[in-house]
Amino acid sequence: MDHEQVELLAIGAGPANLALAVAIEEMAPADFADKTVILEQHDNIVWQRGMLLPWTQSQVSFLKDLVTMRNPCSRFSFVNFLHSTGTLHDFINMASFLPFRLEISNYLEWVAQSLSRVEVRYGRRCERIEAIRSDDDVITGWLVWLSDGSAIAARTLVIGAGRDPHIPEAFGDLPRERVIHSTEYSARIGQLDPAAPHRIAVVGAAQSAAEMLWETHQRMPAAECSMIMRAIGLEYYQTSKFTNERYFPSFTDSFYSARPENRQRVLQEMRRTNYAGVTPELLNTIYRQMYLERLTGTQRLRMVSAVDVASARIEGDDVVLDLVDRIGGLNDELRCDVVLLGTGFERSLPALVRNVAALVGVERFVVSRAYRAVMPPGVTANCYFQGTNEESHGIADSLISILAIRAGEIVNDLLASRPAEQSLAAAAAAAG
């Protein structure tokens, strides 16, 4: 069967693969860039699609965009985006290093539209991956099947589609219309009548849960909003200029070379710098609102802390959450209409990564310092992973902070490992 042939196929047009596209255009030969394709399952590029709320800000400096840390003179910088869209003066006048999330999303779309060689294809969802084998059973490339029935062959695959949403087991049996994960919040919260007296339960204690709590409280003036958490209370992100240095690209070298048990210890110690906290501005806003509501006797915000959700069920028209107090061990229940999950993402590897591992006969990949899967004998095709290497490369792996440098490292590794002969022809012959 004839299939389209490309040199590199990247799955997911998020910040990671867009940074890679920029690095390829700036660092790789034209014939390589012209044969690079990025697949995006949606019809457009939106950053943090589920939580793109108009008032939310990035927690990372605008200088940590897709390219500046690698190439400050690049035309793909965030500053050039502001200049090109006529908003540079307004942004400077804001006197903030932290852009609004909407600005970052618009920047990513602008970058995708500004690419001149690398192609981004929209509405193309990857369904499965197959191995391309030579006559002597060597895996020389990958065949990626799309939801429309077409397929693309490539020698190098880059998976940067992110991790799967984490739905705790307790909520697994609830009807879908009663549960909204943060990744779907923006799309689905509008389906609820904003004037109705909904009872909303928000599960989680980190930034996404706090944002959903506040947005729902403001959007629905008659709703009662309860925040349920295992922690004893909301906490600030525990960051300082010293701990922020652990997000420098240079720290990746130290982390990667550390012993596995030491990596796990560092990851645990850094958890509250990224996963288990709330920005001071939002935390204070929520607390002031709760204080004001107690003062006026109109309390709609409620915190339920130090509890586990043991189970969730439908009883009549209610969603009933069975709670277990983590301090006294007492049982209680909370009745609500809708549950919002700010429970993050699965720690297990995404299905596509597991798919590739099964094809080459390994249970789990070892990933090189340059983010390339270390393949067993009999595999000459390459596969790179972006955003799923926290255990080996550190807590910044899924964040914007290191994207520009990482993209450059991947391109350098790609070019160093590229055969002198035209590798694409061999993959094309095997695919055909």
Per-residue pLDDT tens for 67-101? 999 999 999 999 999 999 999 999 999 999 999 99
List domains and CATH numbers for the chain: 4-164+346-431 (3.50.50.60), 169-237+274-341 (3.50.50.60)
**Cβ 385 vs Cβ 353: under 8 Å:** yes
What percent helix, strand, coil does the chain show, rounded to 5?
40, 25, 40
Q: Report the chain's mean pLDDT, rounded to a whole number.
A: 92
CA distance 64 to 73: 14
Q: How confident is the model at residue 155 (pLDDT cuts 50, 70, 90)?
A: very high
Pairing between β-strand 301-304 and β-strand 224-228 as defined by DSSP bridges: parallel
Containing 133, the helix (H) or strand (E) segment is strand 126-133
Q: Residue 161: CA atoms inside 13 Å, Cβ hemisphere, count?
A: 23
Q: Residue 302 contacts by C-beta under 8 Å, 6 or more apart in sequence?
A: 224, 225, 226, 227
Q: How far apart are CA 398 and CA 346, in angstroms?
A: 13
Both tokens of 329, joined, read: 């061990």
Give pLDDT tens digits for 263-274: 999 888 887 777
- For residues 283 and 286, give the distance between their C-alpha atoms in angstroms, rounded to a whole number: 5
Distances (CA, A) of 272 to 58, 231, 390: 17, 12, 15
Whether 334 and 311 have beta carbons less than 8 Å apart is answered as no
- Locate all alpha helices (DSSP H) within 276-350, ordered by sequence: 280-296
Average pLDDT over residues 409-432: 67
Say yes or no to pLDDT of 427 above 70.
no
Query: Can you tell me the mean pLDDT for 283-307?
Result: 96
Average pLDDT over residues 336-358: 92
State how far the Cα of 215 lies from the Cα of 26, in Å rounded to an integer.
40
Residue 137 Ramachandran class (φ > 0 left, ψ -120 to 50 alpha, else beta): left
Best CA proximity match to 3, nearest among 137, 158, 129, 139? 129
pLDDT of the residue at 340: 98
Give the DSSP letter string of 216-277: HHHH-TT-EEEEE-SSSS--B----HHHHGGGSHHHHHHHHHS-HHHHHHHHHHTGGGTTS-
β-pair partners for 121: 39
Phi, psi (deg, nearest 5) at residue 206: -110, -170
Going by pLDDT thresholds of 50, 70 and 90, the confidence category of residue 429 is very low
Q: Please, which pLDDT band fits residue 34 given cuts at 50, 70 and 90? A: very high
Angle between helices 207-219 and 280-296 (to 10 degrees): 40
Q: Taking the alpha carbons of 420, 422, 423, 426 in that order, is the dihedral positive or negative?
A: negative
Please tell me the pTM assigned to this model: 0.91
List the one residue out of 207, 157, 175 whose CA is nearest residue 50.
Answer: 207
CA distance linking residue 103 with residue 109, whole number of Å? 10
Q: What's the pLDDT tens digit per position in 203-240?
A: 999 999 999 999 999 999 999 999 999 999 999 887 78
How much is the average pLDDT of 228-256?
A: 88
Q: Letter for the amino acid at 275?
A: Y
**pLDDT band with cut points at 50, 70 and 90 for residue 417:** confident
